[in-house]
Structure 1
């Protein structure tokens, strides 16, 4: 679609639905600043999609995008909280700069995203290996699968993690 048509469609959708979206998000998030951020991010996604002229039900479309962004926000918050709890539970005082903390959390969010996209068996095998520290043989025995199956699932999991980590 030509850029001017896309821009005009975005302007129209924004003018007609931004305040509604903001109000809806404010009710969901109970925070005006977070609602404004998610509404802004929602329109950035619409802008990047370059399909605004083809949107027939703007509120449904905006709601779907915003709902996904809210879920991402909650997931990120849960990961950040778990990281900070793990850091606080360490026996020695660990000082992590704000920059390193942000990078670590971004990495954890990316790994979570990769794991969420895996099948149940692949995710289970990955977690047994990387979190519980089991060997591939121990995993195979515990899950009653072949060693080859464990290796296949680990290759898939590690490949997904590497692909997610390689994205800008």
Structure 2
């Protein structure tokens, strides 16, 4: 069975707006290569997500998707830079192999995506419990919520962690 060709509406959308989108991204990023990658990724998202014929304002729609991809790229670069900075501070005998580095970076990115899915309150509660070691009562006091609320949000966050762990 042959793969289905992209719809005519997607071909038209690409032909009519790819150059504009790539130029818009190039101005935003100051880099033609990254702009080309993100323009390509934008159209892949449309191909995977919906019928291009239903898009009423193509440039607005393309810009919205592209902005999200730009944010994702900057977030990834920020996490990667923090990780590389942490690695650089390690003594040489404790250096980590490139394969292990890549696995750890992918895990950090997956955790970041998981935390984004929690919502701001659950994310904050999870981070306070895991990284600051605060008790339920201390978290509740700091955030002005009940211990029951803290437990509920922390349980939800830990459930997300389990789902993430099962996917690894």
TM-score (norm: length of structure 2):
0.84
Range with greater deviation from structure 2 (13-22 or 109-118): 109-118
* Residues in 1 aligned to 2:107 and 2:27: alpha-carbon distance in whole angstroms: 30
1:74 aligns with 2:74: yes
| Residue 136 (structure 1) aligned with residue 136 (structure 2) | yes
Instruction: Specify the alignment match of 1:109 in structure 2.
Output: 109
- Is the aligned partner of 1:118 residue 2:118? yes
Instruction: Name the SS of the counterpart of 1:90 in structure 2.
Output: coil
| Conservation of the 8 A alpha-carbon contact between 1:122 and 1:157 | yes
User: SS at the partner of 2:90?
Assistant: coil
- Greater RCO, CA 8 A, separation 6+: 1
Q: 1:106 to 1:40 in 2, by over 3 A?
A: same
Q: Which residue of 2 aligns with 1:24?
A: 24
The alpha-carbon distance between structure 1 residues 118 and 60, as it changes in their structure 2 partners (threshold 3 A), is: same
Mapped partners of 1:73, 1:5: distance in 2: 29
Compute the displacement of 1:95 (Å): 2.3
2:24 equivalent to 1:33:
no
**TM-aligned CA deviation for residue 163 of structure 1:** 3.9
144-153 or 35-44: bigger deviation = 144-153
Deviations along 1:40-90, one digit per CA (max 9) or x if unpaired, are 100100110131111111111111110000000000111111111122223
Q: What is the CA–CA distance in structure 2 between the aligned matches of 1:147 and 1:85, rounded to whole Å?
A: 36
State the number of aligned residues: 166
* Pair 133,89 (structure 1): closer, same or farther in 2 beyond 3 Å: farther
Partner of 2:85: 85
Following TM superposition, by how much is the alpha carbon of 1:103 offset from its aligned partner in structure 2, in angstroms? 2.1
- Give 1:11's aligned residue: 11
Q: Secondary structure at the match of 2:44?
A: helix
The answer for the alignment partner of 2:149 in structure 1 is 149
- Whole-angstrom distance in 2 between the partners of 1:165 and 1:44: 28
